[in-house]
A and B are shown apart, each in its own frame.
Chain A
């Protein structure tokens, strides 16, 4: 009967999440303040793009997070399909909206950063285009998660989609890069700006740590919500089927 309990009442994880959550919040708050301070005060302005390059300190970590979250979803989906561990489904489902938010942010900040440089809000730059496709993969995943009444069916179908999507990400990246070189004369100012000077590198890394801490914090909140919602559903089923 032990594994039965694991489905219905994963108290062990709920306690653990309760502990991790405040720590993640603390790390997030600390690193975001340090990161922002460095991004605006210690890091020099870019000699070509001037102050607008400071958008890089939110754009680049967001793009990293977009890819990181999708990888987490793919790994969690593989674990859930192979070892059928219920927490893997819950973590993949909880990660998706956060990853999608970061993907949207990296697109929006990329467009805001590109406007002064290229004069238009959107340029079919290889990186931006791949991130746009990644956003569609996220939306497809979340739409599939929401398309089933039975939570277990939704989890299994989305797990397969996440894996299929993950296998295709490098192929899409390769195709978009190739397509980009075919049609786009090498854009004068590379998105990444001039070579990364250490004083610019540190804020980037600290902002990246801040975003990861934010991810862990919100992930814990969302996973706890999913697990308690599972318990509520079981109570509802008990009501219906006569306890």
Chain B
């Protein structure tokens, strides 16, 4: 456990020293959402109706953007080999990497989300549920994305390929994330959606380390 924290702390250290990277993820998230009023017009009614969907899709895309480099940097400079050879099992290393990624890119999204909800004229009763839904949903996004990031290591076309592999698997999280927020705004049932999001989180928590470590192991061969 000590080494797990050690690895997460180092990754956070790296991320904060290169502050710009995690900042870029949030800036992309904000810009992506801000574009929509220009596209569909500023009329509050339309914006409010699509607010939850736009915010969730933007969150998906920005999480995905920062994932390509999750293992790539360590793969290129040889650290990944040494991490595989440390007494920390590779599955736990993947978890540590995902935790660091979530803290540097998932959390900032959640902090920025309410501000964007205001921009999108979203009804205020949806704010709390939006935050809770993102809190439950973004870890699954990082976990599934980590599998994709491990699989494309050393391949010719990194970024675009990752989005093609990972986005179809994001659809369930998107569907239930958006409907939780819409449910809260519309005043009808949303707890079930949050529970399902939690279920996805636990499911991906079990699947991702195994699949990610498998991907890394054969990338290191």
Contact = CB atoms under 8 A, between A and B. Distances in A.
The answer on direct contact between A and B (beta carbons under 8 Å) is: yes
A116 B154 CA distance: 48
A15 to B, nearest CB: 31
B60 interface: no
A167 B206 CA distance: 12
Interface string A166-190: 0110011011101100100000000
A117 B1 CA distance: 60
Size range of the chain B interface in the assembly: 20 to 34
Contacts of A143: 157, 161, 164-165
A160 B151 contact: yes
A133 B168 contact: yes
B147 A182 contact: no
Given A140-B164, A147-B157, A156 B147 contact: no
B179 A182 contact: yes
Given A153-B219, A160-B215, A147 B171 contact: no
Interface in B24-79: none
B218 A176 contact: no
Nearest to A132: B168
A168 B214 contact: no
A134 to B, nearest CB: 9
Contacts of B171: 133, 172, 175-176
Given A81-B214, A172-B172, A176-B171, A148 B207 contact: no
Interface in B183-221: 200, 203, 207, 211, 214-215, 218-219, 221
A161 interface: yes
A152 B221 CA distance: 11
Interface in A128-146: 133, 136-137, 139-140, 143-144
Contacts, number: 77
A96 to B, nearest CB: 14
A147 B211 contact: no
A179 B179 CA distance: 8
B87 interface: no
Contacts of A179: 175, 179
Contact of A163 (B155, B165, B211, B218): B211
A160 to B, nearest CB: 5
A157 B218 contact: yes
B94 interface: no
A97 interface: no
Closest 8 A/B residue pairs (Cβ) = A147-B155, A175-B172, A156-B218, A136-B168, A140-B165, A179-B175, A175-B175, A140-B164
Interface of B: 147, 151-152, 154-157, 161, 164-165, 167-169, 171-172, 175-176, 179, 200, 203, 207, 211, 214-215, 218-219, 221
Given A164-B207, A172-B169, A176-B175, 18 more contacts: A81-B214, A139-B164, A144-B151, A144-B152, A144-B165, A147-B155, A147-B156, A147-B161, A148-B155, A153-B218, A156-B218, A157-B215, A160-B214, A161-B151, A163-B211, A164-B147, A176-B171, A179-B175
